[in-house]
Amino acid sequence: MSQPTTVNWISLGRMDYDEALAIQMSQRDALLAMEGGAQTVFTVEHPPTITIGRNGSAANIVASEAELLRQGFTIREVDRGGDVTYHGPGQLVVYPVLHLGPFGNDVSLFVRRLEEMVIQALAEEGMTATRLEAYPGVWLGDKKICAVGARVKRRANGEFVTSHGIALNVATNLAHFQTIIPCGIQDKGVTSVAEELQQEASVEIWEEKLRRHFEQQFSARTETVDWSRERESRA
């Protein structure tokens, strides 16, 4: 029986989008350049941020620039798939930066595994989540609880390298989604763990849930890496 793949698990805490993106891209570029083989998952919470994916349009931002400025939002165009989405406090963002050789080098399977780890974590709390045909992400009825927006590039040996990932609404301020048409979908809503359970929900607790299910879905073993020490070692 093959040994499980070891994946570094790095919690960045609450961090500006640009800083977290730079960390993620540095790790991705090292993998693409074959300069290291470390499989890594970053988790983070962002301050209020709207991102526009490669298939997106700024027309799906419906709040005025003045209103977004008043609420402290930033807007960024990014190279992930998908349209417009929101990140903010109370939302757990997971960025797997992996080379997919040990995981079958199958991009579709990678995305399904990300979705499934969320579906199984929600099931632990009695929430029956599903996929919807033609609508990426994880859904409770017609409300999205987790967005999926991955990006892959191929490195010299043919392996795909992943970046970006998923955003699970744990205790997110759902009113902030009114600033956009989430993912460009006008006839569906959004929800959160706290909203569905009608109780407080902890990002830290849900990170541990997703971590367990990541290990199960990817047949991996995760190791906690302290980011403050890791940052010093990279300096």
pTM of the model: 0.93
Strand, coil or helix: 191:
coil
Supply the pLDDT for residue 77. 85
The structural domain count of the chain equals: 1
- Check 183, 185, 201, 210 and give the catalytic one: 183
For residue 194, what pLDDT is reported? 98
146 is a catalytic site residue: no
Binding residues for substrate, by number, are 80-87, 147-149, 165-167
133: domain range?
Answer: 5-234
Known binding residues: 80-87, 147-149, 165-167
Tell me the three state secondary structure of residue 159. coil
In the chain, which residue ranges form alpha helices assigned H by DSSP? 17-32, 65-70, 107-124, 193-197, 203-218, 227-234
DSSP of 33-71:
TTS----EEEEEE-SSEEEE-TT--GGGB-S-HHHHHHT
Pair of tokens at residue 84: 């417009």
Interval 193-211: pLDDT, tens = 999 999 999 999 999 999 9
- The C-alpha atoms of residue 183 and residue 185 are separated, in whole angstroms, by 5
Residues of the chain below pLDDT 50: 1
Q: Tell me, what CATH number does 104's domain have?
A: 3.30.930.10
Beta strands at 84-87 and 49-52: parallel, antiparallel or unpaired: antiparallel
